[in-house]
Each structure stands twice: as C-alpha cells, then as structure tokens.
Amino acid sequence: MAGPLGKKVNAPSSFAPEILFSISREQQRVGKHLIEQDGVDIWNIHELFWVDKKDCAHHEELSIHIPAQSPNTVESKSLKLFINSLIHKRFDHIDHVKKEIKFHLEGLLGSEISLQEIHKKVPANQHQVNISSESNLLSTMTGQIELRGFRGFRSLCPVTAQPDIAEIFIDGCIHDNDLDTVSSYLGSFFNRECFHELCIEYIFSDLLEAGFDINKVEGYFERRGGIAIIPIRYSQY
C-alpha cells in the first residue's frame, strides 16, 4: 500500500489515525554508503488545532522528536492529515492531545518519541550554497570548531520531484579555505532526488569521509502544510 504523498487526498471528515503511513528506514538506507551515525528527526508542528469539550478551538505549536534509529519514520503528508483530523475529536486539555499523538505515532514508528517546544534555529556564521553539478569534497586544512550555516540548499522530493529548501548547519572544523568546496558540495544536491533525512545522513557521512572533523549536521527544511522537518545527525561515539 502506498502513502498519500503526491496524491490528491480529501481532508479526513473524522478523527483518522489510520491515515498515518510508515516508511522503513532500513529500506531507505539499503545500498547507501553511509558512516554509522545517530541523531533525531524533529518535526515542528506549527498548525496544531484542537477543540475542547465546550467546542472552543485552540491553536498550539509543538515539535515531535523521532530517534534516527527508529525502525520506521512517518510519511509527511500522512502526518499532516492525521494532525488536521484532531479537530474532529474533543479533548479536555492539550496534554490529552499530546497523549493521543504520542500513542499513535509510537505504535507506527516502533519507537518512543518525545513532544517538546518548537525547535528553533541557533545563531551561526552564514554562508551561501554554490550550485554545482559535481564536487571534489576534501579537507585540506584544519580549522577551528564553530557552527556554520549554509543558506540556499535545495534537493528534490523523490515522490513529487518538488524542490525542498533548507538551511544546513554544520558544527565542526571547516577551514575558511575549504568553504567553497563545502558550499559546492552542498550545491550538488540541487537537482538530486533525496528525502530530507537521507540528505543530512549523506552530508554528515561524506564530510567525515572527506577528512572533516564534524560534530553535528542539522537541516532546517522549510515548512509545508504547517510542518517543518529538521533532521539532525551526529556520531554514535
């Protein structure tokens, strides 16, 4: 059974946890040359509407934290439809809404998750991505550990071929002389079909293999349908 991504789907007319669709991480990663890594996928939910038992509407924001080692992740459109369907159920308190979300997602993902406040960007030295069809990624000099942000990153959704725009944050040692190389490498994703999470896993793995001392890579993808996906990857050791 295929998920709703890339298809015309009517908004649920009742509470619809069954619309949630899982994606196997193992199937996504099979055949990919990736260094072992850990991390978390943060889903910022900016349009969480729920209705209390007095029929008063509430608007909340929260983030869903899914471990990168969970057996499954969730398809983005199915999550949006599930979140939107919450308006068809009545709750006493926002804590009961969170409990409902947590219950259904943990069953789908096969892993514990946490619900937290909206995850925000942190200040970083800003750079631009250079669009490139190829890149010879190689660390030539050792730099100081600092957080660098690269704006203008783009990849394509493998299902819809629509562009996904992000700002990439790299925490590690990148010498100023290597910035153009890293920027061009990030630009090589411009017309590449790749899911958000795999983009960040490739970037983290490729930087390490190229000799860069990297602590963490974060991708702040622009939100769609009220949901922004922020994959974060770091070393398991």
Catalytic site residues?
Answer: 157, 164
- Which secondary structure element, helix H or strand E, spans residue 126, and what is its range? strand 125-128
Instruction: Give every CB contact of residue 96 below 8 A, 6+ residues apart in sequence.
Output: none
- Which secondary structure element, helix H or strand E, spans residue 166, and what is its range? strand 163-173
Strands 38-52 and 90-91, how do they pair? parallel
